[in-house]
Structure 1
Amino acid sequence: MTAAPGVWQPHDEMRRQEEVRIEAAGLEFECTSAARLTWTAEEDRGVLELRVVPDRTAVVRVAWRVPCVGATAFWAADGGEHRGLPPFWRRPRTAALEKNAPVGCLVGTQDQALCTFAAGEVVRPVRTRTGVVEETGEFGFWVEHEAEPGGGLLLRLDLTRRHFATTLAGVADWWRTLHGPDRDVPRAARMPAYSTWYAMQQHVDAASVERQAGPAAELGCEAIIVDDGWHSDDRGRGYGYVGEWEPSPVSFPDMAQHVAKVRGEGLAYLLWYALPFVGRHTALWDRVRPYTLAYKEHMNAAIVDPRHPTVRDLLAGHLTRAVTEWGMDGLKIDFIDQFAVEDPPEPGPGADCATVNEGVRRLLAQLPGDCLVELRQPYVSPGLWPYATMIRASDCPLSPAHNRQRTVDLRLIAGPLAVHADMLMWHPDESPQRIATQLISVLFAVPQISVDLTTLNPAQEEALRFWLAFFRDHAEVLQRGDFEPARPDLAYPQVTARSGGTVITARYAPMPVESPETGTLWLANGDASTGVLLRVSRPGTARATVYDCRGRTEGDELVTLTPGTVEVTVPEGGLLRLETTA
């Protein structure tokens, strides 16, 4: 169904703000602007696209409400660890190219999406306010951004009441349609990786990286990511020495030779850059001072202004050199969100774009287009998809629950990008069961391992080897299958991916697991409880094979499935394979 285009002419063009009401898809929308507005509303099977266009460049706001009936959670790209129902009076969110994404979903019982919305603008700032309206018991939404006559404010609402993950996948597909083709995501971006950060912090050098490369490749990693510390001998955890991006002559005396040696082990090599920063103690300091957005006292560094081509050429040149001269396969680009400075100064002479957002976009467009590029939460805008191959969960060392929630959140809206977990680390005395549960917590993402692999005991190594093999063998289903996380209000206690006749479910709490009528169920037990309840819908038989956290077979038998619930024992960190026949 398509609603007829509408037009609204303010009665008094001198008034600061006017309002128009639009009825579409059973909702009433209030549109406000200082400009004359036209609009179109197109609805197709419960999905509405509303476009509101001003006759001159102006801020446009669209607001609406839905009954808050059966609501359990509000999902947002920057929702953090709390997924309750916020009050409408809380501070608005801002999404832009450098930070966040303009999307949200009101989730109800049975994981139904009561209302999923997204804005089409993914570069310039978009402000949203969402929450419970106390006076009416409704859930309120508004979205606003500066709009131009040529495009206006474009809004997508999904009111189909499908599973919330399905509606968010629809948003990602919509963004891809709006903003063009993506970069290819090569195999190495989707395979397990080794990272130096938690294992070495800034105490990284060529010898230590090479010492980990062989074991990492042998265990199943296909990339190594060298983090902070390669560019300086300073170990102060600040950024006063970043910006020149020359390898430390002490730690990395011959970077190209070192990279070739690591790549000879069969690993792709990615190098870390804190892109926006130039440190106070660098030779570049005086040169960039006229081109800064802000100075970060606690970081001892300035954020440079990408609206200037001089700055973009400088930064892009450093990163390009890593690929062309040192043989890097990729770049880990950190701190893009730091470009999102509140109230940036007016651009100085020589700037060629008015907004920082556009400057960041032009900067990323100058990077080599044929290499791996890792980004990170919270810079999750689909406007970054053309410039990246993978996106990682924000830092949460030794926190499996947070790593699970963040990787699932990313999977829901990452579109074409490979989603990576934050690096996995553990105490040297950790049990293989708990190492396995960490890996299971990020089962639907790409694991990055960050421990000293040369000091693992045999049980730890067996657990790591077993689960990395599972990631590799089932990557197509885990990363590209139909994705169905459960209960965002409870931080996803169960997650499922399915493709063809294969279903993979990870269990993080004692919840029943749906048993498929036919095909193969892989059940990873990420909970300490071992009595797993299978919910069976029709009678049949199945071969049940149980593995412990190290991949050792604990049971292999035919079982009878009767409708109702069937209990099987799966050890903590272990795996069940259930081959069902009718």
Structure 2
Amino acid sequence: MTDIWEPHAPAAPSATGGLRPLYAEGLDLRVSGAGTARAVADGVVEVTVEATPVADGDVRIEWRVPCVDATALWTPEPRGTGWLPAAWSAPRRTGIAAGAPIAALVGTGDVAICAFAAERPDVLAGAGVVEETGEFRFWAQAPGRLTVRIDTSRRHFARCLAGLAEWWGTAHRADVPEAARRPAYSTWYAMHQDVSQKAVEAQAALGKELGLDVIIVDDGWMTADRTRGYGHCGDWEPVSLPDTAAHVRRVHELGVQYMLWYALPFIGKNSAAFERIGRYALADAGPMGAVVADPRYPEVREFLVGRLARAVEEWGMDGLKVDFVDWFARADAPEPGPGADCASVDEGVERLLAELRRRITAAHPDAMIEHRQPYVSPALWPYVTMIRATDCPLSPQENRQRTIDVRLAAGPVPVHADMLTWHPVEPPEQIACHLINVLFAVPQVSVDLAALRPEQREALAFWLGVFRAHADTLQLGELRPARPDLGYPMVTATGPDTVAVARYAALPVDAGGDRWRTLLVANADADPDVRLTGGSGTAEAVVQDARGRVVRQGEVELGRDGAVVAVPRGGLLTLRRA
């Protein structure tokens, strides 16, 4: 696949040279090769182009829309949303191990001026403002054959993205066990590499009391080294968790499910595995102290799958946290040598993950697998049960934006927050705000639960209870985030009879419509005055503070002029009507 990118150059004629116009209502559309365009819904066009015998193997689809009232370009990559790039900006290369071929140009009122997705995962895609014309240009290219869906229906951008993800779902099915949607405890920020059986079992017991049904043991279990490197990855022997099966049984007796971390691609230079398969290196991971294994070789895939599957098959684990998959996509792959059976790294990665999923679900049908942003491709849905936002410790706004971005492209797969952590003297109001910022994801918590002060514990228990009680609405309801250009200062999820709103700025809350019997308003802003607009009649109101204590209750009159209800920072307003 050939990159087409000229930094700081204009939208050069060469970028459209060799492309021919293709009719599609409302679009300035051009394609290479033999192309077709058909309407699949109002404002939604599906375009397919195939290489011709004289082409160089790549096909390209390019289209432009007027850049009028535009506010942001949305993508699912970390820090990918909130600005309008220039047409000469570097394109995004997506593949099975990194990114997802989807984007949306968002306009005033949160409408999608234009959203698109590609059917295949391995796409080079560009998007940006054409300085000479004031248009916004999109293009996508891939080898051989390419199909994209382009949505100019001007619906809410989240609804357009949901429709594109649903289209993906016809080709990529995901099986999600119930436990993948339950709040979890992670050892990473709380312990880093200093894990032990005693510490894990203690946190699992405390977490279960608070509503954390899963524990994820991160780095450190496979080595006595505590220098934070990856030189000991690859052997995956439970150095810090001896008699592992008995230890896992004790955690299970607490009613907690157990997942174990693996840095899948890394073969540490200090490991015995390096002597065995280190010669099959896709790339050197440099300061990581490891090489990236080349999944194009069956010997490599067999070794990695065998090492990881032991956790479920022999030790009784309930799943795996599979980390660093995106490193497979970071290197320019050398030509494969004798013994390789895959033409591309992507093909090798897919075979590796498919075999891993097959092995562990054969031993445990509800086994879980966690992946992490940025490897969010829909082609991975059959091999994953949860996707976590990439690391952003102690950054509530970043965690909010990343979880919402991933959710908009994750289809049926649960999205987990990056692990929540905080300073030991953090007030309960701020702990509540950490949780409210990831209200529409599955929370993971990573602090020493034994060191929590009573008021911190109350805040954590209260909000975990909200997550659990309203999981169907928060995780499966129709998601409507507002203002991606401002980092989503308000997010709404609508279920069959419950609407949940999280307020991160002093914005009014729409209490209108007839879809709710229960309206939840979580306030993460310092301004306590929550103004309710729309609606009519009365509703019973209960206001709780960050610790779940009721601070006021009574009837609220809903009306055109709006009612104002004082909700403390970190608190929750619950409205109920007949």
Name the TM tier (shorter chain).
over 0.9
Q: Which residues in structure 2 correspond to 1:498-513 (within 5 Å)?
A: 498-513=494-509
Q: Deviations over 1:336-379 (max 9, x none)?
A: 00001332100111000110000000000111233100000000
Aligned partner of 2:525: which letter? Answer: D
Verify: 1:547 aligned to 2:538, yes or no.
no
Match of 2:51 in 1: 54
1:296-325, CA deviations, whole angstroms, 9 ceiling, x for partnerless residues?
221010001000000000000011111000
Query: Is the Cα contact below 8 Å between 1:25 and 1:43 reproduced in 2?
Result: no
Report the equivalent of 1:181.
173
Any idea what SS the aligned residue of 2:132 has?
coil
| 1:11 corresponding residue in structure 2 | none
Aligned-pair CA distance for 1:17: 7.6
Please tell me the residue identity of whatever aligns with 1:315: L
Aligned twin of 2:472: 476
1:155 aligns with 2:148: yes
**Unaligned stretches of 5+ in structure 1?**
1-15
Q: CA deviation at 1:180?
A: 3.9
Alignment of 1:338-417 (within 5 A): 338-367=327-356, 368-369=360-361, 370=365, 371-417=367-413
The alignment's TM-score, normalised by the length of structure 2, stands at 0.94
Given that residues 293 and 341 in structure 1 are in contact (C-alpha distance below 8 angstroms), is that contact kept between their aligned partners in structure 2?
no
Give the distance between the partners of 1:181 and 1:132, measured in 2 at CA.
35
Deviation at 1:45, TM superposition (A): 1.2
CA deviations 1:448-490 (Å, max 9, x no partner) are 0101111111101111110001100000000001111101000
Matched, 1:169 2:167: no
Whether contact under 8 Å (2:283, 2:331) holds in the other structure is no
Q: 1:217-275: CA deviations, max 9, x gaps?
A: 11111100000000000111110010000010xx2121111011111111110000000
Change (3 A) 1:558 1:341: closer
Q: Distance in 1 between matches of 2:462 and 2:349?
A: 41
Separation in structure 2 between the aligned mates of residue 190 and residue 524 of structure 1, nearest angstrom: 20
Match of 2:231 in 1: 240
Q: Deviations over 1:184-228 (max 9, x none)?
A: x11111010000000000011111101111111111111000000
Q: Does 1:69 align with 2:65?
A: no
Is 1:194 the counterpart of 2:194? The answer is: no
Q: Which runs of 4+ in 1 moved over 4 A?
A: none
Counterpart amino acid of residue 394 in structure 1? T
Q: 1:44-443 maps to which residues of 2 (within 5 A)? A: 44-56=41-53, 58-78=57-77, 80=79, 82-122=81-121, 125-147=122-144, 152-177=145-170, 179-183=171-175, 185-248=176-239, 251-367=240-356, 368-369=360-361, 370=365, 371-443=367-439
Say whether the 8 Å CA contact 2:432–2:546 is kept in structure 1. yes
Letter in 2 for 1:192: P
Equivalent residue of 1:416, what SS? Answer: coil
In structure 2, which of residues 532, 535, 541 is the aligned counterpart of residue 534 of structure 1? 532
Separation in structure 2 between the aligned mates of residue 493 and residue 84 of structure 1, nearest angstrom: 16
For 1:40 and 1:352, the matched residues in 2 are separated by 36
Conservation of the 8 A alpha-carbon contact between 2:251 and 2:258: yes
Report the RMSD for the aligned CA atoms in angstroms.
1.4
* Counterpart position of 1:568: 565
Question: Structure 2 stretches of 5 or more lacking a match?
Answer: 1-15
Task: Give the superposition deviation at 1:39.
Answer: 2.9
For residues 479 and 332 of structure 1, the distance between their equivalents in structure 2, rounded to whole angstroms, comes to: 21
Distance across 1 between alignment mates of 2:35 and 2:151: 22
Q: 496-505 or 528-537: which moved more?
A: 528-537
> What percentage of aligned pairs have identical amino acids?
53
1:81 and 1:491 in contact (8 A); partners too: no
Between structures 1 and 2, the one with greater strand share = 1
What is the Cα deviation at residue 53 of structure 1?
Answer: 1.4
SS at match of 1:290: coil
The match for 1:23 is: 23
* Aligned residue type for 1:348: G
C-alpha distance in 1, partners of 2:249/2:207? 16
- Name the counterpart of 1:462: 458
CA distance in 1 between partners of 2:39 and 2:80 (Å): 35
* 1:37 positional shift: 2.3
Alignment counterpart, residue 441 of structure 2, candidates 426, 442, 445: 445
Q: TM-score, normalised by structure 1?
A: 0.93
CA distance in 2, matches of 1:298, 1:24: 50
Structure 1 partner of 2:4: none
| Residues 358 and 351 of structure 1: CA distance in aligned 2, closer, same or farther (over 3 Å) | same
Cα contact 1:424–1:447 (8 A) shared by 2? yes
